[in-house]
Amino acid sequence: MNVELLYEKLRQQIYAGLCFGCSDADKFEMIEAKQKAAQLAVKFIDQLPDIRYQLSTDVEAAFLGDPAAQSRAEVIFCYPAIKAITNYRIAHALLQLGVPLIPRIIAEMAHSETGIDIHPRAVIGNSFTIDHGTGVVIGATSIIGTNVKIYQGVTLGAKSFPLDDKGNPIKGIARHPIVEDNVIIYAQATILGRITIGANSIIGGNVWITSDVAANSKVIQEKFRFGGFVGGDGI
């Protein structure tokens, strides 16, 4: 696709997003939206080299971190996490430019295709990788550092919500975890609330965390217990 065609398609989609809340009767508002869409499309295209670089670090992290990966091409074309992260990086850039609605649609397209739910408002550093990926949830106010790896079923979610006087959750409050650099989070770990997982930590599978974890920590479950069946009894 040449740049002119990309620009025109992008401008149309951004315009549609901007007009979603416009009144049909307000011609001036729609003219303004058309002008703004053209400006935002150019700004986004200017960011494509940076997005490409970020994605190259994500691909490299997946390739180097997975002994099953035979080539970088295999990672790009076969790994669902790369699809989800690509959509996230594009959606995040558009959201940062102030484009409404379209970023969330892009993120949810990847969610429906891969089972990986990354909110476009989350902030994620370079060399990010998700192994396997199904069931991963990364909430809107999550902050993830550089060289972080997470496995399937991990949730970076909110623990509770401050409520307004009508009992509804107050929007815009930081409520999801901060994961610092060089952290590994294994399968099905649930990390909730505005807490910090310190750099260079390892979070074991199936743990439930609602408080800060110091840097260079290892958090694992208590060892499982062996049992037996006596006289034909079940569990």
End-to-end CA distance of the chain: 60
Mean pLDDT of 105-132: 97
Examine the pLDDT at 167 and tell me if it is beyond 90: no
Q: What is the mean pLDDT of residues 81-104?
A: 97
pLDDT at 69 over 90: yes
Query: Do 81 and 129 meet the contact criterion of CB atoms below 8 Å apart?
Result: yes
CA distance 153 to 165: 35
Q: Please give the average per-residue pLDDT across 200-212, as a whole number.
A: 97
Say whether domain 135-220 belongs to CATH 2.115.10.20. Answer: no
Cross-strand bridge partners of residue 191: 156, 209
- Taking residues 130-154, report their average pLDDT: 97
pLDDT of residue 187 exceeding 60, the answer is: yes
pLDDT at residue 7 in the model: 94
pLDDT of residue 226: 67
Cα(33)–Cα(19) distance, rounded to whole angstroms?
A: 7
Query: Would you list the domain boundaries of the chain?
Result: 1-16+25-116, 135-220
> What are 170-179's pLDDT values in tens digits?
888 999 999 9
Residue 191's pLDDT is what?
A: 98
Residues ≥6 apart with Cβ < 8 Å to 78 = none
* Adjacency order of strands within the sheet including 155-157: 117-118, 137-138, 155-157, 190-192, 208-209
The DSSP bridge partners found for residue 141 are none
State pTM to two decimals: 0.91
pLDDT in tens, 134-145: 999 999 999 999
Neighbours of 80 (CB within 10 A): 16
Q: Is the pLDDT reported for residue 23 higher than 70?
A: no
Helix axis angle for 80-96 and 27-65, nearest 10°, is 140
Tell me which fold the domain 1-16+25-116 belongs to: serine acetyltransferase, domain 1 (1.10.3130)
Q: Which amino acid is at 11?
A: R
pLDDT above 70 for 63: yes
Predicted confidence band of residue 230 (pLDDT cuts 50, 70, 90): low
Q: Average pLDDT, whole number, for the chain? A: 92
The pLDDT of residue 222 is 79
Q: Which of 111, 114, 113, 106 is nearest to 132 (CA)?
A: 114
Task: Put the strands of the sheet holding 218-219 in their side by side order.
Answer: 129-131, 149-151, 184-185, 202-203, 218-219
